[in-house]
Structure 1
């Protein structure tokens, strides 16, 4: 049974709850003035702008160049030269490339030896070539035997045909003689027409048979002759192949094709050799030497025969320009006017040369370096400032200045650490 509290008791309970929560003490405060609210926003904006201005005014740290290489721009004679390194090569040489495949059976010389033309160098052994040679010889012998058999059969057939032909010719002459005699008697009425027709028919049959046998014999003789000629040509081809194999077997014994000095000869007994393998080279010591230099393809259009170059061996001249470009490099062949001055040089040595691309002319010069580009750094006090300049030809250690620099300017020739507008010196 649910009990209800008196009304007075419920009122007293509500008053106590209000006193405990403090809700009766809350009241609305008045709004601040409008000018005060906007002044707070203005102060915050001014603080942010002030901080940004201070950060903008603060100087950016300058990158310091470690171990800079500086050079002064000066007037001088621009020598249009290119520094090259040339390799010494013989004027006359013969490359020893393997022609046949096989295994090295014997070696008769060693690297560096002087050899005469015809001297044995090495010998190869090839079991496969020996088998091919035996098989080809057997084929030639078999084909020769077949030709002999065919010619014997042809001779026998011709003899038989002659005998048959003689017999048929005799039969024809007999029939013809009888026909001639009988015709006169038939014309005189002594032989009946039926008998004469029979005699005439035998004569015609004998003549046709004789002519047919002659045609058949001529055709048979022609066919046999063609067959024998084809077999003879086959024998010639087999003999040609046999001769080629025999020559290849002879090439297994490699001899020196010319007199000279062996270079790069590294043939060892027991080694396997394939056609095209480089076996070495024979250099003619009396033929002199030449110099082969690689030059950047940038200069290819300016290269020509007759250009001069200086070296510690004296004056050199370009005798040949090899225009094929490999890895960005072209090649030039140079020779010296006095070969006696370079007799001590050996193929494979290197020589430093200065190739003269043009005459010396006065110009504003700056020493060459990785930092000397169309945009470089010029010294101003203790700093380096980036500047755009115009550069011309590059010579031996120097670059021609066409604009953007003056005599006396100091520039950074080494690689700059960055592409900033300013760099600091240590």
Structure 2
């Protein structure tokens, strides 16, 4: 009983006692008194009013309902699994985006969306006159630079050849001077050649010898310098040839080809439409398996991790799955989860199929459980109507975890008790439901 009800009851109890005492005192007087007469008449009225007030205060607020208007379930002691159910779509295990390398307008389309393609197969051709003109200009410039480097290399080699020719002539002069020196030396010793002629011969031989040495050193240094320059030119030419190859390869990028073998999906290019470089115009799915991709409510982000097990219904049985990737980025109140089939042998799946995934968040264990209902929308799971015969009385309870089938009961209910689990929208201020057939 509430405190306010007890206060009212005690107050009326005191009034009744006072009136009763007053009546007894008045009846002891033999002399009739009009006042006592009024008290005797008023006493029953006061008692009746007190009873009515007491009844109104202590009586629980009730409401008559029909049995077919409510849903009654039984509290059970059953195995409880903490799991969630969400929808997931089938996607290929591996796929690659098909991006436009060189921007331009679609000029030709060679295959249709959904076709199986092989690596290197042409898919579409783009056309961009400005880019093509730029390629031609760059190619011409690179070829001109390569030719200039070839000319520079040829000039260096001609220079070496001229120096070699000069060295041959100098060596010839040196040999002549040496021969004359040897002959005049003998003639001078035999006093046939004059001293003056001998001195001229010596001077000429010395000159030719020094000249030869200087030219040889100069040619050697020139060769070393030329070798360095030729090496640098050759390196520059290699870079330019590489640039030319890249340029010519880029010219081929107007032709979009399949980077690998698989099924072409999301391929919907429009003839004449311009596409920017790097823009995706489709993807290629590698047909070596499938995975499930799902958007899960952010509430479960901290409760889902890689390796958790689950099941999906497939035909007349179930298939086991496991979480392989959790992407924690929240978008529109959800995050993305990827799952792989752990026993997917012989599955005939198609991209885009949808499955209901039952993901286990805890191990199965015996618990006191309550079948789920809409009553929690109005009570927040803090109270419920417990059925006794043809009445259902309000009772405070405590609920724990939940899954799509049950609430875990932590307090307030026992196994076997029956409760009302339907909506309490019209019963929020009611304490007792009178259940009529």
Deviations 1:314-372 (A, max 9, x none): 322235511332216352323274555544xx322321122234543210123457948
Q: Which ranges in structure 2 are unaligned for 5 or more consecutive residues?
A: 1-56, 62-68, 387-391, 432-437
Residue matched to 2:429: 424
Q: Residue 297 of structure 1 corresponds to which residue in structure 2?
A: 301
Q: State the number of aligned residues.
A: 353
Counterpart position of 1:396: 404
SS of corresponding position for 1:424: coil
Q: 1:168 to 1:207 in 2, by over 3 A?
A: same
Q: Partner of 2:166 in structure 1?
A: 164
Match for residue 42 of structure 1? none
1:322 matched residue in structure 2: 325
Counterpart Cα distance in 1 of 2:107 and 2:252: 14
1:9 corresponding residue in structure 2: none
Spell out the pairing of 1:17-28 with structure 2 (5 A cutoff): none
For the residues of structure 1 that align with 2:423 and 2:294, how far apart are their CA atoms?
Answer: 28
Structure 1 CA distance for aligned equivalents of residues 214 and 423 of structure 2: 107
Counterpart pick for 1:356 among 349, 355, 360: 360
* Partner in structure 2 of residue 34 of structure 1: none
- Give the Cα separation in 2 of the matches to 1:415 and 1:219: 105
**Does 2:234 match 1:250?**
no
Out of 113-122 and 232-241, give the one that drifted further.
113-122
The residue number in structure 2 matching 1:133 is 135
Q: Any gaps of 5 or more consecutive residues in structure 1?
A: 1-57
Task: Give per-residue Cα distances to partners, 1:363-390, cap 9 Å, x unaligned.
Answer: 0123457948998422478886766x47
Q: Distance in 2 between matches of 1:129 and 1:168?
A: 59
Q: TM-score, normalised by structure 2?
A: 0.66
Question: 1:130–1:380: structure 2 CA closer, same or farther, 3 Å change rule?
Answer: closer
Please report how far the alpha carbon of residue 123 of structure 1 lies from its aligned counterpart in structure 2 after TM superposition: 0.8
Q: 1:273 to 1:414 in 2, by over 3 A?
A: farther
- Supply the distance in 2 between the matched residues of 1:250 and 1:369 (Cα, whole angstroms): 64
Residue 71 (structure 1) shift: 7.0
What secondary structure, in the 3-state scheme, does the structure 1 residue paired with 2:163 have? Answer: helix
- Does residue 335 of structure 2 align to residue 332 of structure 1? no
Equivalent-residue separation in structure 2 for 1:413 and 1:326 (angstroms): 37
Q: Are the structure 2 counterparts of residues 413 and 380 from structure 1 closer, same or farther at C-alpha, using a change threshold of 3 Å? A: closer
Alignment of structure 1 residues 96-111 onto 2, 5 Å = 96-111=98-113
The one-character-per-residue Cα deviations of 1:7-43 (angstroms, maximum 9, x if unpaired) are xxxxxxxxxxxxxxxxxxxxxxxxxxxxxxxxxxxxx
Quote the RMSD (CA, aligned, Å).
Answer: 4.2
- Rate the CA distance shift 1:390–1:208 in 2: closer, same or farther, 3 A: farther
Question: Does the CA-based 8 Å contact 2:320-2:342 persist in structure 1?
Answer: yes
Superimposed CA distance per residue, residues 289-319 of structure 1 (whole angstroms, 9 cap, x where no aligned partner): 4323345323334x416x3413143322235
State the shift of 1:269 in Å.
1.0
Counterparts of 1:245 and 1:411 in 2: how far apart (Å)?
A: 77
2:157 aligned with 1:149, yes or no? no
Cα–Cα, structure 1 residues 308 and 323, in superposed 2: closer, same or farther, change >3 Å?
closer
Q: Could you tell me whether the CA contact under 8 Å between 1:90 and 1:290 is conserved in 2?
A: yes
- d(CA) in 2 for partners of 1:322, 1:219: 67
The match for 2:243 is: 241
| Counterpart residue number, 2:89 | 87
Alpha-carbon distance in structure 2 between the residues aligned to 1:163 and 1:118: 57
Q: Secondary structure at the match of 2:404?
A: coil
1:32-111 alignment to 2 at 5 Å?
Answer: 73-111=75-113
Counterpart CA distance in 2 for 1:415 and 1:142 is 88
- In structure 2, the partner of 1:14 is none
Q: CA offset at residue 182 of structure 1?
A: 5.0
1:125-179 deviation digits (Å, cap 9, x = unpaired): 1224322331233234323432442344234323322332123223323333444
- 1:292 and 1:222 map into 2 onto residues whose CA distance is 67
Q: Secondary structure at the match of 1:290?
A: strand
Change (3 A) 1:353 1:155: closer
Aligned residue runs from structure 1 range 186-265, under 5 A? 199-257=201-259, 260-265=262-267
Contact 1:315 1:336 in 2 (8 A): no
Larger Rg: 1
Match of 2:383 in 1: 378
Paired residues of 1:378 and 1:410 also in contact (CA < 8 A): no
TM-score for both structures, normalised by structure 1: 0.67
Answer yes or no: is the 8 Å Cα contact 2:378–2:425 preserved in 1: no
Q: Does 1:365 align with 2:369?
A: yes
